[in-house]
């Protein structure tokens, strides 16, 4: 009975394998190409919507839209300078805060932490990325703002505020909300993203390089500074750029604590605004075609800025992977 069924089953398997050999690769290639084209079409659609929606404002204000500081819906005067500078300021502050902490934690997890604790600590850090941004904003508004208003900002004014030139960054009344606090909140938000990428990059260093350095008598610091960092410099830069891209587009957390004021100020303690915060605050209240178009044009500026940052970060990460593969071959 079994012998009579076996040839039939074998024929079915052969027919299936022939079908897979003939049509499997074309179907798989077509499916993956379809998904890629759909994603590319969505990206082109987003760009087209931003261009079409923002064109009336760009035509109304001209190229001066990019360097005009006035934002007055009453007179239909719109400029992107204030929210653009606020976006860059908060992102730079976030990087100055987040990168050193991320670098230190990544080095600790890959070089110093006991093996049994590495995974739990890494998971705990990555869980910070799961906290919604609005929770960060509420925490900053109700907990950190009073702390800044009564303790941190007065201390900054009495110390750094007395230094010539540098003191201009810490002038004004200590009201708590402002660009500095928004940058601090952003720094905490990008920390898990940068740490995760840096940890993976440091872990990609071939063990033979570390062992060779230790065998030559190098200390742990020398191994990190002269072996790990040179091997991963592009990956570290890529992690920073990816974190910067995350900071540029953050909305709700910044909206809670930055003050949402359309005016330029040298002081980091003064209220300001960002592109994303401006869109969140004013889009639902925009009246008139030019006003709405100006907000869409701001979105286009943010899209271009974020795209350039992420593209640069991706390029650096690809360079790090290529260097890692070359190192493994040489090893």
Return d(Cα 80, Cα 302) in angstroms, integer: 10
Q: Considering the domain boundaries, does residue 196 fall inside one?
A: yes
Q: Considering the domain boundaries, does residue 21 fall inside one?
A: no
Return the axis-axis angle of helices 25-61 and 289-330, rounded to nearest 10°.
140
Closest-CA residue to 190 (of 87, 102, 318): 102
Return d(Cα 254, Cα 274) in angstroms, integer: 8
In the block, residue with structure tokens 């997890």: 109
Residue 9: pLDDT over 50 = no
Q: Considering the domain boundaries, does residue 43 fall inside one?
A: no
Return d(Cα 56, Cα 292) in angstroms, integer: 9
| Mean of all residue pLDDT scores within the chain | 83
Return the axis-axis angle of helices 179-203 and 81-107, rounded to nearest 10°.
40
Return d(Cα 153, Cα 163) in angstroms, integer: 15
What does the pLDDT look like over 163-199, one tens digit per residue? 888 888 888 888 888 999 999 999 999 999 899 888 9
What does the pLDDT look like over 208-232, one tens digit per residue? 888 888 888 888 888 888 888 888 8
Of 60-69, 101-110, 264-273, 290-299, the least confident:
60-69
Sign of CA dihedral 223, 226, 227, 228: positive
Note the pLDDT of residue 129.
82
**Could you tell me the two tokens for 145?**
């703002």
Q: Which domain holds residue 191?
A: 64-330
Q: Considering the domain boundaries, does residue 16 fall inside one?
A: no
Residue 43: pLDDT over 80 = yes
Q: Considering the domain boundaries, does residue 84 fall inside one?
A: yes
DSSP character for 250? -
Q: Considering the domain boundaries, does residue 52 fall inside one?
A: no
Q: How many alpha carbons fall within 13 Å on the CB side of residue 10? A: 6
pTM score over 0.75: yes
Return d(Cα 193, Cα 5) in angstroms, integer: 57
Sign of CA dihedral 127, 133, 135, 138: positive
| Contact of 86 with 274, CB cutoff 8 Å | yes
Q: Considering the domain boundaries, does residue 36 fall inside one?
A: no
**Could you tell me the two tokens for 226?**
């002269």
Return d(Cα 268, Cα 172) in angstroms, integer: 9
Closest-CA residue to 182 (of 258, 256, 233): 258
Q: Considering the domain boundaries, does residue 140 fall inside one?
A: yes
**The total number of structural domains that make up the chain:** 1
**Could you tell me the two tokens for 1?**
């009975």
Residue 105 belongs to domain with CATH number: 1.10.3720.10
């Amino acid at each position: 009975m079994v012998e009579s069924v076996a040839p039939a089953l074998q024929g079915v398997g052969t027919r299936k394998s022939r079908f897979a050999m003939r049509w499997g690769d074309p179907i798989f290639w077509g499916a993956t190409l379809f998904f890629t084209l759909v994603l590319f079409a969505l990206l082109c659609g987003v760009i087209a919507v931003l261009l079409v929606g923002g064109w009336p404002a760009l035509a109304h204000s001209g190229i001066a839209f990019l360097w005009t500081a006035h934002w007055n819906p009453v007179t239909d005067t719109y400029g992107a300078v204030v929210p653009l500078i606020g976006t860059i300021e908060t992102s730079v502050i976030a990087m100055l805060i987040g990168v050193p902490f991320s670098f230190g934690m990544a080095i600790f997890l890959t070089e110093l932490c006991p093996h049994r604790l590495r995974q739990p600590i890494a998971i705990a850090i990555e869980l910070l990325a799961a906290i919604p941004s609005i929770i960060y904003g509420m925490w900053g508004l109700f907990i950190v703002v009073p702390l800044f208003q009564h303790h941190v900002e007065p201390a900054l004014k009495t110390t750094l505020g007395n230094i010539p030139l540098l003191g201009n960054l810490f002038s004004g009344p200590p009201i708590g909300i402002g660009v500095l606090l928004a940058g601090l909140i952003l720094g905490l938000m990008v920390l898990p993203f940068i740490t995760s990428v840096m940890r993976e990059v440091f872990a990609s260093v071939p063990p033979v390089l570390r062992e060779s350095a230790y065998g030559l008598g190098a200390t742990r610091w020398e191994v990190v500074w002269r072996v790990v960092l040179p091997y991963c410099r592009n990956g570290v830069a890529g992690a920073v750029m990816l974190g910067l891209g995350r900071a540029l587009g953050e909305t709700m957390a910044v909206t809670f604590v930055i003050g949402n004021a359309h005016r330029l100020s040298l002081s980091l303690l003064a209220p300001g605004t960002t592109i994303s915060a401006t869109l969140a605050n004013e889009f639902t209240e925009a009246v008139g075609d030019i006003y709405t178009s100006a907000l869409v044009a701001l979105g286009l500026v943010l899209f271009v800025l974020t795209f350039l940052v992420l593209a640069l970060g991706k390029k650096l990460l690809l360079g790090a992977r290529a260097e890692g593969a070359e190192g493994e071959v040489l090893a």
